[in-house]
Structure 1
Amino acid sequence: MTLLLRDTETKTAEAPAGDTPGGETPPEAAPVATACPKCGAPVEPGQDWCLNCGEAQASRRLALPGKRAIGTVLALTGVLVVGAVAAAYAALDQNSPATPAGTTQVAQVPAPQPSAAAPAPVDTAPSDAAPSSTLPPTTGSTDVPPASSTPAPSLPRTTTPSIPTTPSTGATGSTGSTGSTSTGSDSSSKGDTTSTTRTSTTPELPDPVAIRLDPTAASLYDPYRRDIADATTADPKKALDGEAGTSFPITVADGAESIGAGLVIDLGSKQGVREVDVTTKTPGFKIELYATDETDLPPDITDTRWAHLKDIRDVGTDTDGKVKVDLGAGTTKYRHVLLWLTTPPTDGFTARLSEVRVFG
């Protein structure tokens, strides 16, 4: 009996402390729940992400992959950048020239020799004997062409190097003149050639040609119905009949200071007008020349369809009653030409147009 009790106590002492009588394992302690640091929602142990806001938990943040790889990439990138900068600097330092090109070129130019610029001037007096065609070159100088038979003018010494020039034919017909002499000859000859070329290439206008006009092409232009005494008896055709003894008169009342009427000529078609000749027996009046390209005459002189060409004061006073009016090249073409009389003659109140000729 005593042995059984001892055996039982021995088994009880050898049993593990955590085992309960009867061989049953005690239950484990329940895991402690945590809260999300961002939204406060409960997070189970071992849960890497919050199911409410998606925030990474502490266990996930501590175990984020790629930290070592990112550090390695950044370190390698820094090494490569430093190496590239060093290589570029070395390449630039090797390619840069030691001295500027311009400085080297200037240093290669030899110093000018004043003695070699030009030979000393030789004053030769004219003699009765015929000079030789050429003289031997000056000793010690190979840059200056041989002098011609004509004595060269005295030239001042310069510090510029002697530069041989292409010989040119001067006024005396020689082909070996010095550089300065040939340059002057070339300049003058080129200037003469240019002047001659410009003169020859400028086209000259031919002489004006009289436009053939029938006497019926002339008519009175009186848009303001002025009191012209001889308007009913005067015939405008007499201004174009080619007879110096006839005329077309325009008379105003005594004491009138203006006329305000004129003679209009129909050219039959649009033509360029270069000159108008007027002959009168009553000099001293004033004419304003107008023209239009319209087939029908404008209603009055202020109409913009009239083109003002020129004014003639004191018609025929100093030219024995004749005047020529130059109108240029006649590039603009007109259908009608108007001689608009504005003031009466110096003596009397009748202006007579003996002959009117139009040139194109």
Structure 2
Amino acid sequence: MNQFKIDQTNEQNLLVRYGADPGRFAEASMYPGLHLARVVSQYKDLYRIATSEGECMAEISGKFRYGSFALSQYPAVGDFVMTDRSGDSSGNAIIHQVLTRKSVFERAAAGTARQTQIVAANVDTLFLCMSLNNDYNLSRLERYLSAAWSSGASPVIVLTKADLCKDLDVVMAEIGAVAPGTDVAVTSGSDNCSCDRLLSWLRPGMTASFVGSSGVGKSTLINRLAGSEVLRTSEIRQDDKGRHTSTRRELLVLPQGGIVIDTPGMREFGVENVDLTRSFTDIDALTELCRFRDCTHTSEPGCAVLRALEEGRLDARRLESYRKLKREAKYDGLSAKEIETEKLNAMFEKAGGMKNARKYLRENDKRKRRK
């Protein structure tokens, strides 16, 4: 038995609990002299990682920092990484490599141009949480689903605070219409056992991330699954909006063996590479029936989408949500100036683009001056 196989046996005692599988150990063997670990929490310039010996602090190497040109290349919670040591007895461990990500849930990074931020990596299930109070919003759910399907993880809609809902059947019908085939779990503050419905997606070694607005009850659900107050919770504000309880992403191993990642509340977030074909299957099917392959579904004759809208087979709110996400996917990651240019190009598309539009405006201005 070679040294790697011996090390692998030792590491499996702890790292398998954190989601490492044979494929991860095989990939780790490509980096001799380094140790496999998983990122469990992220601070400003430091990371907490789980190694074969337990949890310790780590930082990225200077070479890694110098060679990374995008935020998305940096380690994120859920990432498997290779480090120079498996403990911090002689200082912080040093991260040298981020291993292949099997799934990535991301959003536009605030205050940056053309940058994305990794919310969670290597997630099997995304719990899209929405409380049945004023947070309930179908357009926001469509946004979450579009990003979730693009991530590589499987989405599950989690409805919290069902005891506040006056007509759950109506809500379930609405969600069934916009998310056909997507699993839905209903939980209630008056039923402490309702969160047990999530355990079927939290088998040992499987990772799930909780995503949703502040105050929807993500931390409360995780505490109930863990059987103790592992995360701080707070009461909802009087205006029915949640307070930001979670301030950073954090990975936890549950007593049952499942792994969860809690995330700070995200009421709205930018989208980029969203998969609208999965979250808008009805509209995607209609587009195949349009007369023109490049139909924009705005005014073209023979547009099956517009015909469905006129006949009441397609909801106007849903079509506007689809259009909005398509626009954002085109503009997301651009600077304010670049976005303005793209919008102007779209406005003057029929005039041959912004370049021809500027030429027309200059010539028109000259004609006015001659008069």
TM-score by length of 1: 0.20
Q: Based on CA coordinates, which of the two structures has the bigger radius of gyration? A: 1
Which of the pair is proportionally richer in helix?
2
TM-score by length of 2: 0.20
